[in-house]
Each structure stands twice: as structure tokens, then as C-alpha cells.
A and B are shown apart, each in its own frame.
Chain A
């Protein structure tokens, strides 16, 4: 009855043979994005805090088909093996559901995401405010629809705010994909799979400070500066949405 890993390899997901020709459309000069957005237009963003009651703080984020939940636990006792520390520790983990990707259990190996999330948030959190203890940030990607890591980073900072962890500012993150000559902001999975290069920025918009900048693949110098500016502008707008989400939650709590 139950499928053990050994038998799982004998099953396959039926594919649509007509799908294989898709990427060629990106090379045309006047193509539109699959979800008919403008090149410099982000997907509508939805945030909600308090998604998980058993956590100290949590947030759910939905950008198109990308859906993530982040829970924050603590500050709580650090593991016994750890040394005494004057400042708090931050522990991050990102996992994917088996149905997050189009083919079951065949997501790209995103092991590096956990440490990237850690690096993106670390600079924004006032670790001195919880010495000797650990704050755990756990993320679950329910559905992977592209730009997973930037969505998780933004959602995680919102969950940290919901948990009442002291921060210098919210961290917001946006990525840009470069396809040929075009820069596409907030790429979906299909666009990410055939990109030439990409840039991701995580920043604290009110302080105008970047906590993480990642560039992969091919990006020309003029494209690079344009992409950075695009990301920073989008991050500032995202921060407004996240702030209004926090304000709504706070005013709803005050009414009760």
C-alpha cells in the first residue's frame, strides 16, 4: 500500500508533450510575459500575519502562485551544546512541500536557501535584545511559483515583527531576471528556468541599507545598475504593503 522510496522511482508523472516548445517564445522581440504583466511590474502581493497560532509569530505570503508560511518561535532556550553568548542566535530553515513543484518531489535542491535567509535577516535583527536565547525562523513553501527566496525573506521579516522581535527595520526582498536584453522583475518559475542572469536584493527600505545582494549568471554593467534600482524601488513599495498589513493586524487586536 504505502510507497517506499524504492517503489517511488517506478512511477512517473504524465507530461504534456506540447509543453516542450515553450521557452522559444522568450527569444522573440515582442513577447509578453506568461501572466501578461509588464516587464517592470510585480505580481500582486498578499500578506497576512498570525497564520499559525502555536507559533510566537507567523505570516503567510502569496505572490501569484508562490505561497509561503513562515513561523517564528522564541526567543527560547538555546540548545544545550551551545556556548554562552551575549547576543541572541538566529536559526533559519526553509523546506518545500512535496507538491510545491509541478512534478512531485522534484524541486531544485534549495539547500542553500536556509543560510541565505539567515544572512538576509541577521543584519536587521537587534540580536543584543535577547542574549543567551535563540529565535527560530521556519519557512514552508506551500507552492513554488518563482521568486521563492525573496518572498520567504519578506514574509519572514513580517513574521518576526508579528512575534515582537526587535528589528531595525522590516527586510523586504525582490529579484530581477535578465532574459536577453530584457529585465523582468519578480519572475515566475517559467521565466526563472530560462533566465540568463538574475539579481536579488534584500534591504531595509526606511534606512536605505542593503542586507543581501546576490548576482548570478550574466548581467551587463548597465543592466546591473538598472536592475538594482528596479529592485530597490520595488522593495520600498513592498514595505508599504507589509506595514499596512501590520497596522491592520494591530488595530484589529486593539478593537478586541
Chain B
């Protein structure tokens, strides 16, 4: 870094790969002046995104989301709890984000990634405050029993924009969630109804005959952008995130309302116009993501 001019001179004779590693910032800035990124994307275009629902058979709801090579696996397991006294007819959601050592060379066993608890909290805040889930729908027997939805998100491959992919997998898992039919047994415990019991119409009545799927009123989607000088780069890769440090994550719900906005530090001070540009980009992205999610859901219904 001490020889800024040396890199200029060397760039003509050095191999591209070596230049990329030695002077990453210059390498990127050269691309930016040409309005292109090293992976051949325009600056404001997100990577290809896919959603696969029902990836985990042992869970009640699950989804695999991929943005570029960033891969997230989210699964929901439903358990029964006694609701608190303050809210006797509400269930609960517990969200946990994990970065196992397989996902990135930075994470090692026994030394969890710093980013994991931060993302865990952000996801939890976003999903709660977006009002996507009506906790009353998770109630079973008022004051006695309610669902606790354990949502666990695993990062299988970390290549930037982790929050976007994690949130996408989380909302997809909720839209895939199928709540099991349960009944109360004689000890006052909730048990799963077997197929025979459902047909027999015996004295054991299902507690939740209607509430099998959650109605997701508004769905939050997000887009992370990198701000570097006057450039805005949508959906950064891990390499881009490591070189240019100012990130802005905008979360909008499906009706276009702002849910949250994160700008965790970084060297670039953000002007209002830049933030407005980010919000506008997110607005476009929300439509894309909504379509991808709708396609995934309608694909499931045909099966």
C-alpha cells in the first residue's frame, strides 16, 4: 500500500491474477470505471437467485435459497410451549443463524464467526418487526399451549450478501411451513394425530383443524449494496465485501414499505441521495424476489 504509483506501472506487465491479489482495490476500481464487475455483472445487478422448498424432510417447513454461490438452508421445527401470562393466546418464534465451519475458510470449529450472532439478531428483529407473522395464529389452547417455531438457518456457502440470502431462506421456509394436526390427550399434553385417528372421528378432536398454514400478510425482502466513492454495487460477493467496506442493507416489505435499514459503519459517509438510490434498487429487487418465491410456491402446489 506504501507504493501507490508502483502498482500503476506494474499493472501493464503483471499477470491479471497476481494484480488482483496484490492490488485488489485498484483492480476493482479499474472495473468500476468501465461500469462492469469482475464477474461480468453491471454494477447494480444482483446475482442469479433460486429457491427450493422442502429441502429438509425432517422439518415442518424448510427452504434452500441461493444467491450466486451464497447458499442458505432454513428449516422450521414446531414444538409446544406454555404461553406466558402476559400473552396467553400467542405463540413464539425463535430464530438462530449458524455459520458452520464448512461455509467459509474463515470459520473454524470452536471459534464461531463473529458475524453469526449479529446476523441472528438482525434477522430476528426484521422478521418480528415486519409483522409478517401473526403470533396469535400460533396459539393452540389459550393460556395452556401454543406453538414455538424454531427457525434455524445454516449458511452452507458464504460468498457475500449473507443477510439477503438468510432472510430469503427464512421467509421461504415460513411459506412452506405446514403445521402438524395435533390433539390434546388425557394428560393435557399435545400429541400428533395419526392418520387413523383423523379418519375415525373418535372422541379425540384435533385442536388446530384450520390453522395448518400461516397467513403471511407482508413479506420482507432485502438488498445489500456496497458504497464505494460514488459507485453503488448491488448484491456484493465476499471478495467485494472484503475490499470495499461500506455496506447498506435495506429491507422493504412486499407492499414497498421500509422495514429496516442497516449501515454498520464503514469508511464512506452516506448522502441521502445514495440511500435513496439504494432504496430504489431494493424496490426493484423486491419484485424480482417476490416472483421467484411465488414461482417456487406454485411449483410445490402442482406436485
Interface of A is mostly: loop
CB <8 Å contact, B102 and A143: no
CB <8 Å contact, A1 and B157: no
CB <8 Å contact, A101 and B58: yes
Q: Is A2 an interface residue (CB 8 A)?
A: yes
| A72-106 near B? 1/0 per residue, CB < 8 Å | 01001000000000000000010101111110100
Q: Is B103 an interface residue (CB 8 A)?
A: yes
| B242-263 near A? 1/0 per residue, CB < 8 Å | 0000000000000000000000
Which of B109, B154, B190 contacts A97, CB < 8 Å?
B154
**Which chain A residue has the least Cβ–Cβ distance from B64?**
A142
CB <8 Å contact, A52 and B102: yes
The size of the chain B interface, using a CB distance under 8 A, is 51
Which of B62, B79, B191 contacts A11, CB < 8 Å?
B79
Q: Is B280 an interface residue (CB 8 A)?
A: no
CB <8 Å contact, A53 and B58: no
Docked CA distance A17–B81 (Å):
18
Q: Give A112 Cβ to nearest chain B Cβ, in Å.
A: 15
Task: Note all chain B residues with C-beta closer than 8 A to A140.
Answer: 100, 102, 154, 156
CB <8 Å contact, A13 and B79: yes
Residues of B that sit less than 8 Å from A by CB: 56-59, 62, 69, 71, 73, 75, 77-82, 92-96, 98, 100-105, 108-109, 120, 124, 128, 148, 150, 152, 154, 156-159, 180, 182, 185, 189-194, 196, 238
Which of A12, A14, A55, A142 contacts B105, CB < 8 Å?
A55
CB <8 Å contact, B109 and A95: yes
CB <8 Å contact, B58 and A70: no
CB <8 Å contact, A99 and B152: yes
Docked CA distance A140–B156 (Å):
9
**Which chain A residue has the least Cβ–Cβ distance from B121?**
A2
CB <8 Å contact, A2 and B191: no
Task: Note all chain B residues with C-beta closer than 8 A to A71.
Answer: 101-103
**Which chain A residue has the least Cβ–Cβ distance from B109?**
A93
Docked CA distance A51–B189 (Å):
42
Task: Note all chain B residues with C-beta closer than 8 A to A144.
Answer: 58
CB <8 Å contact, B94 and A139: no
Q: Give B60 Cβ to nearest chain A Cβ, in Å.
A: 9
Task: Note all chain A residues with C-beta closer than 8 A to B109.
Answer: 93, 95, 138
Docked CA distance A140–B73 (Å):
12
CB <8 Å contact, A16 and B192: yes
